[in-house]
Structure 1
Amino acid sequence: MLFLTLRLSRGAALVVTLGILAACALPRVGPNKSEIFAGSVLREGDAFILTVDDRVNAIAAVAPALGFTAGFLNAGELGSDTIRAGDTLGLTIFENVDDGLLVPQGQNASVLEEVQVDGQGYIFVPYAGRILAAGNTPEAIRRIITGKLADQTPDPQVQVRRLAGDGATVSVSGAVNGQGVYPIERPTRSLIPMLAAAGGVAIEPDIARVTVARGDQKAEVFYNDLFNNPRNDVALRDGDAIIVKSDSRTFTVLGATGSQDRVTFESQKITAIEALAQVGGLSSTQADPTGVFVFRNEPEEITEQLVGQDVTGVQRVVYVLDLTRPNGMFMARDFAIRDGDTVYVTEAPFVQFNKAIAAATGSLSAVESVSSTTGL
């Protein structure tokens, strides 16, 4: 009888201890599912909580796209022999008369060496006047000078050649194998061959982003998209700056996973399954596969499509992935992670229960130890 009473007393003590522990904050990785759902707009919070399905995947997968503007896409290729301000030209003028305008008596040609193209792009030729050279080819300049001299001397013949100056150039910097200033020549009039001339990218192509700065305009594309879409191989212009850098997008993984970290994108697109795999997957001893959440701030237009109602401004959205549901793994495999996302995996309910049991067992053991010591 005494033994039964003692067992009942210990059972009661365990129940009381569990209740006390439940009321206290046992260590855990973060909020549980019920606490997250309490943050819904339908309850105590201001977040839209959505279970991921095919419709949600189709809408939420929309991400801000990189790409060139029409100004870059519609620019024609620049000739490799285009003259620019600062170049030095050499002119040779032949006249079919004994007493010509420019040709000395007894000679058949006049040579004008080192004709400088001024800052405004012009040159001066006697009897032809001020001629716009910058932006024209030597052949175009030849025709202009010939036309202006033809009214003053019969059948003039003109040769134009560049003596100094690199012509049009671009700078290539960042994660390339050969940074430097490169001339726009016949094989390198567009972006892809110019990058090849610079030795190619020095980082993984999947995470390389290419920026082209032209005056006050700037556009960026993923390196792989240069080859996936031929239009992205844009024509270059004098003074363009080409910068190659690594993708700076990140997401954060917390909760019952193999590790908790801020993770950089390893490819242009990452799904929820791939994001979990990058941190070692779900913890086999702690994770609740029904409680995988993705926290994101969604733009107004995407949120309205998701919830079917008007909203104002950026909204907090929580996506729920239940890997145990039919097709749950497929939903997670198709869900696209975006820059700034937080992926959180809740603990399984029994984990907290086990912690409470362990804590209670430890407490009762301590009590028994004290009792045996005092002889009670």
Structure 2
Amino acid sequence: MTTKKSNWAKHLILASAVFALSSCGLPRTGPTKQELYAGSVQKNGNAFIVDVNDRVTRQTAVVPPLGFGPEFQNGGVVGSDTIRAGDTLGISIWENVEDGILTTAGAPATLEQVQVDGEGYIFIPYAGRVKAAGNSPEAIRRVITRKLAEQTPDPQVTVRRIAGDGATVTVTGSVSGQGVYPIERPTRTLNAMLARAGGVSIEPEIAKVKVIRGSKIGEIWFEDLFSNPQMNIALRGGDRILVEADPRTFTALGATGAQSRVGFASQTLSAVEAIAQVGGLSSGTADPTGVFVLRDETADIANAVLGRSDLTGTQRMIYVMNLTDTNGLFLARDFGIRDGDTVYVTEAPYTQWSKVLTALTGSLSTAGSIAALNQSLTE
């Protein structure tokens, strides 16, 4: 009888120790699946918990399109021979006399770096102000020749266009050669100008190209310049081109290979790809039935997902995936991750029990060691 009471006492002590250890703050990676469900709207919490299915993946598949609007696409290629304000011209003049009004001993008069002013004019000695903007070098040559012919016999004039402020674009960011580049015949389109700057210096899959033209801004994925030729827009003087890496990120937490803030590795990113980017599920602790994606969703999408029409404002949504289901991995492959999402994987239930038992056996081992030491000292 005494032995039975003693065994019951031992079991009671062990159970009490396990309960005490499990109820105190043992280390863990985050909330359990039960704790997340307990905070749902369905249980008077503040977040909607939704099981992911094919309908949900379709309703949430929102990827903001990137591209140039009509104000960029409708602009034709600028003629390489059209002079604009800010352009610079090189002009040479020959006269058929020994001592001309501009030349001496048959040598030509060369006027380099003649810049077109803000009103579109240039000044030529003895010819006066000549309208240059909107004209071709040939048209300007004829005007100068006609005006000089009134003062010197049969003048010969050449006009060539040199790149100036009115025919340049600025290329900055993740390109091999940042700088100010002239719009020339081979570089009159966006793709050609990027090539002139040495191409992008980051992975093409995550490269975004932004064009700033006055107060208008257009943006496109670098790879889309090749798949959508209409997006290879014609450039204008003063355009600013910025190439940068995709700034979108998601946060991985819980029982994954790494817990960190991670950048997108492609234009579109699925839940499976996001988990793979951080090293996959932790084989020792992860619960594949508890893969959660936390997101602030717009009212339109939240209403569509929940089959409602009364929600207004941003809604906190928690999407749940069970990778052990027959269709689980397919759903995770189809469910898109968006900028700012948090991907959280809960720990398997046995993990906490393992921690409890480890802590308990460690405590008992330590207590046994102390008792043994005490006994050796008293002998």
TM-score normalised by L of structure 2: 0.82
1:87-102 map, 5 Å: 87-88=88-89, 90=91
1:62-211 map, 5 Å: 62-86=62-86, 87-88=88-89, 90=91, 117-122=116-121, 133-138=132-137, 161-162=159-160, 164-166=162-164, 168-211=167-210
Per the alignment, do residues 163 and 65 of structure 1 end up closer, same or farther by CA in structure 2, a change over 3 Å counting? closer
**1:29-55, CA deviations, whole angstroms, 9 ceiling, x for partnerless residues?**
100111111222222322121111111
Structure 2 partner of 1:291 = 290
Give the distance between the partners of 1:303 and 1:141, measured in 2 at CA: 63
SS state at 2:223 partner: helix
Structure 2 partner of 1:98 = none
SS state at 1:42 partner: helix
Structure 1 partner of 2:361 = 361
Per the alignment, do residues 189 and 282 of structure 1 end up closer, same or farther by CA in structure 2, a change over 3 Å counting? same
Residue identity opposite 1:251 in structure 2: F
Per the alignment, do residues 113 and 20 of structure 1 end up closer, same or farther by CA in structure 2, a change over 3 Å counting? closer
Instruction: Check if 1:213 corresponds to 2:216.
Output: no
Structure 1 partner of 2:305 = 306
Offset at residue 161 of structure 1 (A): 2.8
Give the distance between the partners of 2:50 and 2:275, measured in 1 at CA: 19
Give the gaps of 5 or more residues in structure 1: 93-102, 104-110, 150-156
Structure 1 partner of 2:334 = 334
Say if 1:210 and 1:222, in contact at 8 Å, map to a contact too.
yes
Give the distance between the partners of 2:129 and 2:57, measured in 1 at CA: 64
SS state at 1:58 partner: helix
Structure 2 partner of 1:37 = 37
Say if 2:285 and 2:351, in contact at 8 Å, map to a contact too.
yes
Structure 2 partner of 1:319 = 319
Offset at residue 74 of structure 1 (A): 1.3
Structure 1 partner of 2:151 = none
Q: Provide the aligned C-alpha RMSD in A.
A: 3.3
Offset at residue 23 of structure 1 (A): 2.6
Residue identity opposite 1:225 in structure 2: D
Indicate the larger mover: 129-138 or 50-59.
Answer: 129-138
Instruction: Name the count of aligned residue pairs.
Output: 354
Structure 1 partner of 2:27 = 27
Structure 1 partner of 2:46 = 46
Give the distance between the partners of 2:314 and 2:156, measured in 1 at CA: 66
Structure 1 partner of 2:152 = none
Say if 2:290 and 2:322, in contact at 8 Å, map to a contact too.
yes
Per the alignment, do residues 47 and 132 of structure 1 end up closer, same or farther by CA in structure 2, a change over 3 Å counting? farther
Offset at residue 5 of structure 1 (A): 3.4
Question: Identity over aligned residues, as a percent?
Answer: 55
Offset at residue 316 of structure 1 (A): 1.1
Say if 2:163 and 2:182, in contact at 8 Å, map to a contact too.
no
SS state at 1:227 partner: helix
**1:113-162, CA deviations, whole angstroms, 9 ceiling, x for partnerless residues?**
78763212135799x9977532443356679x69x99xxxxxxx997733
Give the distance between the partners of 1:217 and 1:163, measured in 2 at CA: 28
Per the alignment, do residues 2 and 363 of structure 1 end up closer, same or farther by CA in structure 2, a change over 3 Å counting? farther
SS state at 2:171 partner: strand
Indicate the larger mover: 236-245 or 36-45.
Answer: 36-45
**1:180-233, CA deviations, whole angstroms, 9 ceiling, x for partnerless residues?**
222212221111111111111111111111111111212211111111211210
Structure 1 partner of 2:17 = 17
TM-score normalised by L of structure 1: 0.83
Give the distance between the partners of 2:70 and 2:33, measured in 1 at CA: 47
Say if 1:79 and 1:185, in contact at 8 Å, map to a contact too.
no
Per the alignment, do residues 27 and 168 of structure 1 end up closer, same or farther by CA in structure 2, a change over 3 Å counting? same
Give the distance between the partners of 2:85 and 2:71, measured in 1 at CA: 23
Residue identity opposite 2:300 in structure 1: E
Offset at residue 25 of structure 1 (A): 2.2
Residue identity opposite 2:160 in structure 1: R
Indicate the larger mover: 196-205 or 112-121.
Answer: 112-121
Say if 1:294 and 1:318, in contact at 8 Å, map to a contact too.
yes
Offset at residue 370 of structure 1 (A): 6.0
Residue identity opposite 1:184 in structure 2: I
Say if 1:121 and 1:133, in contact at 8 Å, map to a contact too.
yes
Structure 1 partner of 2:106 = none
Give the distance between the partners of 1:5 and 1:27, measured in 2 at CA: 35
Structure 2 partner of 1:346 = 346
